[in-house]
């Protein structure tokens, strides 16, 4: 555990020589895995501000929504995923996460509809 804490210490001189976005995303993932939800939010949010690639930004929003759901903020998680789920090419993991958030909010019909969408999408991709 001590080694993780040392690895998490942000050193601006080092970060200036690496891919800052990747470092922040990795930092967020480590913080999330250790249950440091506020630090994970900050790291993922900072990475999202740096993201110039649309797919990378979509993944970071998913990470933020995951953090919010774990923190007990299902409404915020659902809001974060609203745009992603509205896409015809939505990431299946985002659809599932939004379904979980909707279920936690007692919106069973919405959650069920999202799960049915996942099944339809998966069935359409099978040979």
The CATH number of residue 112's host domain is 1.25.40
Q: Which domain holds residue 26?
A: 1-50
Count of domains forming the chain? 2
For 64-113, the DSSP string reads: HHHHHHHTT-HHHHHHHHHHHHHSTT--HHHHHHHHHHHHHTT-HHHHHH
Assess contact for 39 and 31: CB atoms under 8 A: yes
Predicted structure pTM score: 0.83
pLDDT score at 50: 93
Does residue 11 sit in the same domain as residue 34?
yes
Answer yes or no: do 116 and 70 share one domain.
yes
- Whether 24 and 48 have beta carbons less than 8 Å apart is answered as no
pLDDT score, position 82:
97
Looking at the structure, tell me whether residues 84 and 26 fall in a common domain. no
| Residues 43, 77 share a domain | no
Q: What is the mean pLDDT of each run of 10 residues along the chain (127 residues)?
A: 56 61 92 95 95 96 98 98 96 97 98 96 78
Same domain, 46 and 65: no
pLDDT given for residue 20 in this prediction: 86
């Amino acid at each position: 555990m001590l080694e993780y804490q040392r690895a998490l210490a942000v050193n601006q001189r080092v970060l200036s020589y690496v891919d800052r976005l990747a470092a922040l995303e990795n930092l967020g993932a480590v913080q999330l895995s250790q249950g440091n939800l506020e630090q994970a939010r900050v790291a993922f949010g900072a990475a999202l501000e740096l993201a110039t690639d649309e797919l990378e930004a979509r993944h970071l929003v998913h990470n933020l929504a995951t953090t919010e759901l774990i923190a007990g903020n299902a409404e915020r998680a659902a809001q974060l995923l609203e745009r992603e789920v509205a896409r015809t090419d939505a990431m299946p993991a985002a659809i599932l996460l939004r379904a979980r958030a909707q279920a936690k909010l007692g919106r069973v019909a919405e959650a069920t509809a999202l799960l049915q969408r996942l099944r339809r999408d998966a069935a359409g991709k099978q040979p």
